[in-house]
Amino acid sequence: MDAIAEWFRTLYDTTGINITVVYDAYDRQRFIEGLGMTIMLSVVTIFTSLVIGVAGAWAQSSPLRLLRFAINGFVTVFRNTPPLVQIFFFYFGLGQILPRVEDADGMRVPLIDNVEWAIISLSLFAGAFNVEIFRSGIEAVPRTTVEAAESLGYTRLGIYRHVVLPLALRVCLPALSNNLVNLVKTTTLAYAIAVPELLYVSKQIWTDSQNVPVMMLILLATYTVLVGILVFIMHRWERALAIPGYGQGAGR
Amino acid sequence: MTERPSVPFAVLHPYRRPEPRPFRLRLRLIHGVGIAGAVALIGGAAFAQGGTSTRSAFEVILQWSPLLLSGFLFNITISVLAMLLGTIAGIALGLVLIGHNPVTRWTGWVFTQFFRNSPWLVLLFFAMFLIPYEFRVAGTTIPFPDWIKAVIGFSLPVMANVAELVRGAVRSLPSGQWEAAESLAFSRRQTLWMIILPQCVKRMLPPWMNLYSLVTMATVQASIVGVTEMLTLTSQVHAAEGGRPDLLAPLYGFAMLCFFLYCYPIERFTLYLERRFKV
């Protein structure tokens, strides 16, 4: 480990390529924490947005008109407004209105802090897209399959859970993985409300060390790797789920 | 229209696709209620908090709306320019992706994937920091203001996405088109420009418009790197009004409303085109 750090230090001395995140313990620590925050944000928002998508798509087939109308309104609004403005609206707009609470040290802190607001608004943003994606998958399930399940005495929730959703999932997986990749890229917007994620710490590092171009390339490469990992997982999932006749990987 | 008395059975008529309904953005009552509700929410959210001595959020927004809307117009300008630049570069890159030379094709692929898979905000930082603020060509200085750099920053991901669209659209055409053109002695360039690409336009249009809507919504990110556009103006208006915390939600709500009113018709039109072009 020391030998590698030493090598990068000589690289800086001889060529001027300054990769502080490898040899400088403080920068490395910051970078790893930022990476951890980005991964945490991504995993949590992916999970909650999937939950929103599944629940929303189910509610869209509800017999209650008001509920359907509300879900459609939510999807339309969140799909057609900029995610950054959504984050600002939640964090600055709603965050200011909510009351402040006292924490363990007796400090007045906001009820919901910036990391939590980032999670909430990013989940809602990606969740709106997920609702639409799951709906398209559900529409692809043949009506006869649903009727067969109905005649077997399944309840509405039972049909959704055991028949429609498993089939719909296979149809919409490619679109879903696209959206989740997009979500991972959108986590950078949390930068704007000072969530210490990868972009935020990278900016701190390149301001301190004056190595903007190098640090930017490292940052871009890191995001490419993160997205690559997600794409790999989704591909594996797609192949594991594949059954003939459904989805892109069918029968292959 | 339906004068075909010689064949009495409807089934014997050749199948004709039903005419698609013409596109109209039908503003039904429900839309009006929705927009009125949004306005009331924006106005009322602050009114409940504001007390009697302060002006209501509605008055504040009404007073500043010329400034805010000019900022919004600037956002639209950035998005149109970025889309223009990105589309031209993207078509060029897409043609490289479907080319025969393996070296350029592979380089183009790496290029495309790199710009497609990086966050837009990071690319924006990239353009902001790495492009100089002025160029010196033969004694004259050409200034490069921030917003032009932002346009370039947004056109990078657009380029990569358009390149993928071109590649996908060309691949989706049946190979018979190429073979037929070859047998009619078209050169490769002629085939591409006169036969393949015109057919691709139809397939590319809906996703391209989707991309435009995404670019429009991404332009607000320029405020993070210091371009004075709608969000910057919004926070300035907020400061000018004395920084009342209860004004923030209505002001950002107004920004959301502007973008919604611009992007929603585009989304509807895209859906219409998709349905219409469906084979």
Element (H, E) at B142: strand B140-143
The reported pLDDT for the residue numbered A188 is: 93
* Domain spanning A36-241: CATH 1.10.3720.10: yes
CA B150 – CA B128 distance, rounded (Å) = 7
Summarize pLDDT for A11-52 with one digit per residue, the tens.
Answer: 777 777 778 887 888 888 999 999 999 999 999 999 999 999
> Could you give the count of Cα atoms lying within 13 Å of B122 in the half-sphere of its Cβ?
28
Q: Which amino acid is at A239?
A: R
Q: Using an 8 Å CB-CB cutoff, list residues of chain A that contact chain B.
A: 73, 76-77, 79-86, 88-89, 92-94, 96-97, 181, 185-189, 191-192, 199, 203, 212-213, 216, 219-220, 223-224, 227-228
CA angle, B211 then B227 then A39, to 5°: 60
Any idea which residue has 């929410």 for tokens?
A: B41
**B86 close to B120: Cβ distance less than 8 angstroms:** no
Note which residues in 27-86 of chain B have CB less than 8 A from chain A. Answer: 34, 45, 49
The reported pLDDT for the residue numbered A250 is: 42
Q: In this model, does residue A161 exceed pLDDT 80?
A: yes
The reported pLDDT for the residue numbered A7 is: 78
Which range (A213-222, B59-68, B138-147) has the least confidence?
B138-147
Name the nearest CA neighbour of B159 among B93, B95, B255, B71.
B93
Name the nearest CA neighbour of B235 among A210, A89, A156.
A89
Q: In this model, does residue B12 exceed pLDDT 80?
A: no
Domain-by-domain residue ranges, chain A? 36-241
Q: CA nearest A203 in B: which residue?
A: B125
Higher pLDDT, A106 or B179: B179
Mean residue pLDDT of chain B comes to 84
Residues in A closer than 8 angstroms to B219, CB to CB, are 82
Radius of gyration of chain A (CA): 23
Domain-by-domain residue ranges, chain B? 34-277
Q: State the DSSP code for A251.
A: T
CA A72 from chain centre, in angstroms, equals 21
The reported pLDDT for the residue numbered A252 is: 39
Q: Which of B223, B237, B256 to mutate to test the interface with A (most CBs of A within 10 A)?
A: B256
The reported pLDDT for the residue numbered A39 is: 95
- Overall average pLDDT of the A81-107 stretch: 85
- Overall average pLDDT of the A147-170 stretch: 92
Q: What percentage of chain B exceeds 70 in pLDDT? A: 81
Do the bridges between strand A100-102 and strand B140-143 make them parallel or antiparallel, or are there none, so unpaired? unpaired
Q: Residue A252, SS3?
A: coil
Q: CA nearest A82 in B: which residue?
A: B217
- Supply φ then ψ for residue A72, to 5 degrees: -60, -40
pTM, full prediction: 0.84
State both tokens at A131: 């609702």
- Overall average pLDDT of the B122-133 stretch: 87
Element (H, E) at A56: helix A25-60
Summarize pLDDT for B207-237 with one digit per residue, the tens.
Answer: 999 999 999 999 999 999 888 889 999 999 9
CA B220 – CA B250 distance, rounded (Å) = 17
Architecture of domain B34-277: Orthogonal Bundle (1.10)
Which range (B47-56, B128-137, B210-219, B232-241) has the least confidence?
B47-56
Q: Dmax of chain A from CA atoms?
A: 76
- The complex scores an ipTM of 0.85
- Supply φ then ψ for residue A108, to 5 degrees: -85, 110
Summarize pLDDT for B140-199 with one digit per residue, the tens.
Answer: 788 888 899 999 999 999 999 999 999 999 988 888 888 999 999 999 889 988 999 888
The reported pLDDT for the residue numbered A251 is: 40
**A201 close to A30: Cβ distance less than 8 angstroms:** yes
CA B93 – CA A211 distance, rounded (Å) = 30
Q: CA nearest A90 in B: which residue?
A: B249
> pLDDT class for B276, splitting at 50, 70, 90?
confident
Residues in B closer than 8 angstroms to A118, CB to CB, are none
* Nearest neighbour of A85 by CB, restricted to B117, B220, B264: B220
In sequence order, which residues have a C-beta less than 8 Å from that of residue A164 and are 6 or more positions away? A138, A141, A145, A146, A149
Residues in B closer than 8 angstroms to A86, CB to CB, are 256
Higher pLDDT, B10 or B37: B37
State both tokens at A141: 């399930």
Q: Residue B136, SS3?
A: strand
Q: Which of A74, A87, A185, A212 to mutate to test the interface with B (most CBs of B within 10 A)?
A: A185
Q: Residue B135, SS3?
A: strand
The reported pLDDT for the residue numbered B87 is: 96
B129/A86 touch (CB, cutoff 8 Å), yes or no: no
Element (H, E) at A101: strand A100-102
Do the bridges between strand A108-110 and strand B134-137 make them parallel or antiparallel, or are there none, so unpaired? unpaired
Q: Which amino acid is at B233?
A: L
B117/A228 touch (CB, cutoff 8 Å), yes or no: yes
Q: CA nearest B215 in A: which residue?
A: A82
State both tokens at A102: 């006292």
The reported pLDDT for the residue numbered A27 is: 87
Q: Which amino acid is at B27?
A: L
Q: Which of B60, B116, B118 to mutate to test the interface with A (most CBs of A within 10 A)?
A: B118
User: For chain B, how many helices (H) and strands (E)?
Assistant: 10, 2
Higher pLDDT, B13 or B240: B240
* Nearest neighbour of A191 by CB, restricted to B121, B264, B267: B121
For A198-233, the DSSP string reads HHHHHHHHHHHH--HHHHHHHHHHHHHHHHHHHHHH
CA A48 – CA A231 distance, rounded (Å) = 19
A199/B122 touch (CB, cutoff 8 Å), yes or no: yes
Torsion of CA A237, A241, A242, A248, to 10 degrees: -50
Name the nearest CA neighbour of B61 among B277, B255, B264, B279.
B255
Q: In this model, does residue A219 exceed pLDDT 70?
A: yes
Q: Does B197 touch chain A (CB under 8 A)?
A: no
Q: In this model, does residue A164 exceed pLDDT 60?
A: yes
> pLDDT class for A213, splitting at 50, 70, 90?
confident
Which range (A68-77, A136-145, B48-57, B228-237) has the least confidence?
B48-57
The reported pLDDT for the residue numbered A243 is: 79
**B80 close to B151: Cβ distance less than 8 angstroms:** no
The reported pLDDT for the residue numbered B47 is: 54
The residues that bridge with B137 in the sheet, in sequence order, are: B140
The reported pLDDT for the residue numbered A230 is: 94
The reported pLDDT for the residue numbered B39 is: 66
Cα-Cα-Cα-Cα dihedral sign, residues A99, A103, A108, A110: negative
Mean residue pLDDT of chain A comes to 88
Q: Which of A92, A94, A135, A223 to mutate to test the interface with B (most CBs of B within 10 A)?
A: A92
Higher pLDDT, B185 or A102: B185
Q: Name the minimum distance, in Å, from the CA of A139 to any CA of chain B.
A: 15
Note which residues in 85-114 of chain B have CB less than 8 A from chain A. Answer: 113-114
Burial of residue B76 (CB within 10 Å: 0-12, 13-18, 19+) is middle
